[in-house]
Chains A and B, each alone.
Chain A
């Protein structure tokens, strides 16, 4: 499969623990987005990278959230001191250069107990 991949697909954690998710883009895609999706809602934008530079962050991205894309390829999203309200599907999407079309990964479903 040469599409966007995410790991893990599911994560159950206890409140207060830290979690880290990974996104691997389609190889030639230099733009990368993270979204959060809760049941019955559309994806909500969290952050955007162009190559290794983090260019945009949503106000939804509290200081407990941090994202990196160190070499402009894969990206990680870390949530520190998880809360029950962090339970959601975390989606990654990527696109190529000036093209607008975004391709989504399968998501990581986070459950905070």
Chain B
């Protein structure tokens, strides 16, 4: 089955800095890679996703890059703000059922 590794487990940055979270996956058939943000006590919310036929996708301060050859993908947040503080999960899935395997999460702390 799919295995998704996520690093780092904790990331502490100053407001205005950039943050990068990296994930690797094992199944070369994986073709859909979502990222979720989960604030304390809240539900996971999709913030950005990328499909295997695309190398990069950007949405305002958030971007995701995918390297299929190396089987890794990354989340980039620029100009971080305190409200970006949360746990971020990457995931990978294959096929039409889109059943994801999640990473263990990265706790992002943005200091004002």
Contact = CB atoms under 8 A, between A and B. Distances in A.
A107 B44 CA distance: 10
Nearest to A35: B102
A100 B46 CA distance: 11
A106 B44 CA distance: 8
A42 B44 CA distance: 10
A100 B30 CA distance: 13
Interface in A24-44: 31, 33, 40-44
B72 interface: no
A79 interface: no
A56 B97 contact: yes
B104 interface: yes
A33 B97 CA distance: 10
Nearest to A92: B43
Contacts of A107: 43
B30 to A, nearest CB: 12
Given A42-B91, A45-B99, A56-B99, A102 B105 contact: no
Contact of B97 (A41, A48, A106): A48
How many A residues touch the partner, as a band? 20 to 34
Interface in B38-55: 42-46, 49, 51
A103 to B, nearest CB: 8
Interface in B9-54: 32, 34, 36, 42-46, 49, 51
Contacts of A100: 32, 34, 49, 51, 93, 98
**Residue with the greatest number of chain A CB neighbours at <10 A, chosen from B32, B49, B98:** B98
Given A42-B89, A91-B44, A100-B49, 10 more contacts: A41-B104, A42-B91, A43-B100, A45-B99, A45-B101, A48-B97, A48-B99, A100-B98, A102-B34, A102-B100
28 contacts: A33-B99, A40-B105, A41-B104, A42-B6, A42-B89, A42-B102, A42-B103, A42-B104, A43-B44, A43-B89, A43-B100, A44-B102, A45-B100, A48-B97, A56-B97, A56-B99, A91-B43, A95-B98, A100-B49, A100-B51, A100-B98, A101-B46, A102-B34, A102-B46, A102-B98, A104-B43, A104-B44, A106-B42
